């Protein structure tokens, strides 16, 4: 089934935050008591690592070397779902247009989704932009388990990404690129989208003391370089229990309410949350009478109809 109207909604981009265990660099540069041996920090804005280097032989008393390393993660992604279809094969086709906000500072070179970890051999990815050179899409053969950073870090999926080739243009600040498409046996749910920039931070590992490198290497690195967001995509393998799907939608909707993308007092949202709680407890399907009021609600409605409709 093809959507009667094209859906164009922006993913809810998360503000960059410090990865777990990585302290924020104090604005006044004064290290709090008990952190004298902490050498790696992240900026308050999340766009740079700050290395506080130990004294070297010959340094004057009181001297301290502080090195700031830009992370090139100042992107503001919006992934618009332009179509959601159920194909004759029983698979689903998801299409996207990706934009980089005008307030961004860095271009986007990679756009990806954290999809269900099953069905790789049946997943087809393509890119047919209305203008420009296509990007390359693939699901890695090696199953690297990816965290659903934007939804629930304890949940795992598989990376599916489109990357810019040498002759293709990046998505610069204020620009968009359409034509991203993925076909999958996995039904629609709420999942993590991510973007990143190709440019690698210049850490200068060889010049860093061993204790500094040890602190940096022990941290979860992906949130340093990526921006994560929520969107609708291939989340549910065939046979996923209705209660599990309902939980996914409920969690995603709750996060979107927190981010201001949805209103808790919306008749559509209130009715859907009540029905999702019933499905979690007793199973069954969902049939919504309230009409969606915005693009996010319309997108969620189509996803819920395909994954938890009354025909299930």
For residue range 239-263, what is the model confidence (pLDDT) as tens digits?
999 999 999 999 999 999 999 999 9
Q: What is the pLDDT of residues 170-208, one digit of tens each?
A: 999 999 999 999 999 999 999 999 999 988 777 666 777
Identify which has the larger pLDDT, 14 or 94. 94
Q: Which sign, positive or negative, has the C-alpha torsion 168, 172, 175, 179?
A: positive
pTM higher than the cut 0.95: no
- Counting runs of H as helices and runs of E as strands, what totals does the chain give? 5, 14
Task: Show the tokens assigned to 14.
Answer: 């998360």
CA 118: distance to chain centroid?
19
Nearest-angstrom CA–CA distance, 201 and 197: 10
Return the pLDDT at 239. 93
Q: What is the pLDDT of residues 104-155, one digit of tens each?
A: 999 999 999 999 988 877 899 999 999 999 999 998 876 678 889 889 888 8
The residues near 14 (Cβ < 8 Å, ≥ 6 apart) are 149, 150, 227, 228, 229
Q: What is the pLDDT of residues 201-232, one digit of tens each?
A: 776 667 778 888 788 765 556 777 889 889 99
Q: Minimal CA–CA distance to 47: which of 25, 20, 78?
A: 25
Q: Does the pLDDT of residue 31 top 70, yes or no?
A: yes
Return the pLDDT at 311. 42
Task: Show the tokens assigned to 42.
Answer: 């992240």
Q: Minimal CA–CA distance to 135: which of 169, 159, 164?
A: 164
DSSP H or E run through 277: helix 267-282
């Amino acid at each position: 089934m093809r959507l009667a109207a094209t859906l164009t909604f922006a993913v809810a981009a998360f503000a960059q935050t410090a990865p777990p265990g990585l302290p924020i660099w104090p604005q006044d540069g004064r290290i709090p008591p008990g952190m004298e041996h902490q050498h790696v920090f992240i900026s308050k804005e999340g766009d740079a690592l700050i290395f506080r280097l130990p004294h070297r032989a010959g340094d004057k008393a009181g001297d301290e070397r502080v090195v700031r390393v830009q992370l090139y993660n100042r992107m503001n992604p919006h992934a618009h779902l332009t179509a959601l279809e159920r194909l004759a094969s029983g698979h689903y086709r998801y299409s996207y247009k990706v934009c980089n906000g005008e307030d961004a500072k860095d271009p986007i070179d990679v756009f990806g989704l954290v999809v269900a970890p099953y069905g790789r051999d049946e997943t087809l990815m393509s890119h047919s932009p209305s203008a420009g050179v296509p990007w390359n899409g693939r699901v890695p053969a090696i199953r690297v388990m990816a965290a659903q950073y934007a939804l629930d870090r304890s949940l795992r999926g598989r990376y599916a990404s489109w990357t810019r080739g040498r002759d293709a243009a990046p998505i610069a600040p204020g620009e968009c690129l359409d034509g991203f498409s993925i076909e999958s046996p996995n039904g629609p749910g709420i999942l993590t989208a991510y973007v990143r920039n190709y440019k690698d931070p210049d850490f200068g590992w060889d010049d860093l003391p061993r204790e500094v490198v040890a602190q940096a290497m022990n941290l979860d690195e992906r949130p340093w370089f990526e921006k994560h967001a929520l969107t609708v995509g291939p989340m549910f393998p065939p046979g996923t229990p209705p209660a599990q799907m309902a939980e996914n939608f409920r969690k995603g909707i709750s996060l979107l309410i927190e981010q201001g993308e949805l209103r808790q007092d919306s008749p559509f949202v209130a009715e859907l949350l009540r029905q999702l709680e019933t499905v979690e407890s007793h199973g069954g399907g969902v049939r919504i009478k309230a009409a969606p009021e915005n693009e996010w609600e319309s997108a969620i409605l189509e996803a819920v109809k395909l994954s938890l409709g009354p025909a299930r």
